[in-house]
Amino acid sequence: YSISTQDTTFALASRGEVKVCGYPLIKTEHPKLFIFETFMDLSILKKIHNPANTDIFTYMNSKFVYVEKHFRAQLNQLYRNILYQQCYLEQKMLQNALAIATQSPDIFAYHFMKAPGYTSILAGEVIHIIKCVPVEVQVAQTLNCYNQLPVIRGNKTYYLAPQTHLLLRQGTQVNCNPLAPVMYQLGEAWYKIMPNPIESISPTILKPMTKPEWKYTSPGALATSGIYSQSDLDEFKDHILFPAERPSVLNTMARAMMGQSATIHGGSFTNLLDEASLEKLATSTWDKIWGRFLIFGNISAGIMGIFLIFRFIKL
């Protein structure tokens, strides 16, 4: 079970179930943390956070557990990616080898065994691979150019086949072309056959063009998120600092009540009254002011009435 958001980040592994009040809870590797799977119409726990229940050790341990599981997931993903690339490459190699098996059994044996000195015989739906006995030879001096490398063994001329290094009795004669010569690697150096061997520069070696698909995923806001959100940590900090700040706050309130100058930092005296109390106080004040206006209006109306009566009597 894992979650990674801006405020909450943790990863816990299941370690069995335990019954609590008839409900199944999932145990984790942390003895103080349990998991309850909620559904649309099933919820036994309300999210009521009490700062006094905040466990800073659980908070830190959950971070370490998350980091360990994050690294494990990333390494498993990297391993699967490497294994997939290797399997895909070997599959392509086998497909290519099987494709050329019917036309060039010796080339198939070279690619399948990944080394020279092997040949194969196609027999129905199977291929028999044969390992040749290695022998010592010397480069022969000839007047013509061949696609194979002329060599001498036992005072007889043979032709060393490219890649497979099989000794052939007949070679394929080609024109000696200095622009595109026949080249062979003898020892650590490359030579072009013109027809005499002449040391040449090394050719360009083909390399795999595999593109990496694995990418490391950062654990995100692990420095600011954890099993508790930032608001939970702020409440826990206030809970820790409250006993130390309480004498100063009480002193400030006492000075304000005695009419002395008082300054409170990071707070307000309005927090002493809730919204209902403020609304009740405002309503009571308005009723008193309006009642006095009504009394004043009644008195004014009475005086005006007496004044009008005297005016009518004089007339």
pLDDT (tens digit, 9 = 90+) per residue, 187-246? 889 999 888 889 999 998 888 776 766 676 665 555 455 556 667 666 766 666 666 666
Q: Please give the Cα distance from 94 to 104 (Å, whole number).
A: 14
pLDDT class of 148 with cuts at 50, 70, 90: very high
Residue 155 carries which DSSP code? Answer: T
Q: Burial letters for 115-130: b for 16+ Cβ neighbours within 10 Å, e otherwise? A: ebebbbeeeeeebeee
Q: Which long-range contacts (CB under 8 A, 24 or more apart) does 188-193 make?
A: 193/145, 193/146, 193/149
**What distance in Å separates the CA atoms of residue 100 and residue 188, rounded to the nearest whole number?**
29
Residue-range domain boundaries for the chain = 2-95
Terminal alpha carbon distance of the chain: 99
- pLDDT of 57: 57
- The residues, ordered by sequence, that sit 6+ positions from 253 with a Cβ below 8 Å of its Cβ are 262, 269
β partners of residue 44: none
Q: How far apart are CA 127 and CA 92, in angstroms?
A: 19
Query: 56-101 and 105-113 helices cross at what angle (nearest 10)?
Result: 160
User: Is pLDDT above 60 for 23?
Assistant: yes
How would residue 271 be classed by pLDDT, with cut points 50, 70 and 90? low
Nearest CA to 216 out of 85, 70, 80, 87 is that of: 70
What sections of the chain are H helices per DSSP?
A: 56-101, 105-113, 230-257, 275-314
Collapsed DSSP state (helix, strand, coil) of residue 192: strand
Residues 220-231 as b/e (b if ≥16 CB within 10 A, e otherwise) read eeeeebbbbbee
Nearby residues of 59 by Cβ (< 8 Å), 6 or more positions away:
226, 227, 228, 233
Which range of 66-80, 93-107, 113-127 scores highest in mean pLDDT? It is 113-127
Pull the structure tokens for residue 81. 């990616």
Is the pLDDT assigned to residue 52 strictly greater than 60?
no
Lowest mean pLDDT among 47-51, 220-224, 251-255: 220-224
Residues 2/10, Cβ–Cβ less than 8 Å: yes
Look at residue 131 and tell me whether its pLDDT is greater than 90.
yes
pLDDT of residue 135: 92
Choice among 43-52, 203-212, 297-306 with the minimum mean pLDDT: 43-52
DSSP classification of residue 228 = S
Name the DSSP class of 183. E
Residue 208: asked if its preceding bond is cis (omega within 30°), the reply is: no
Count CB neighbours of 36 within 10 A: 13
Confidence of residue 97 (pLDDT cuts 50, 70, 90): confident
Mean model confidence pLDDT for the chain: 78
Which pLDDT belongs to residue 96? 81
In the chain, % of residues over pLDDT 90: 17
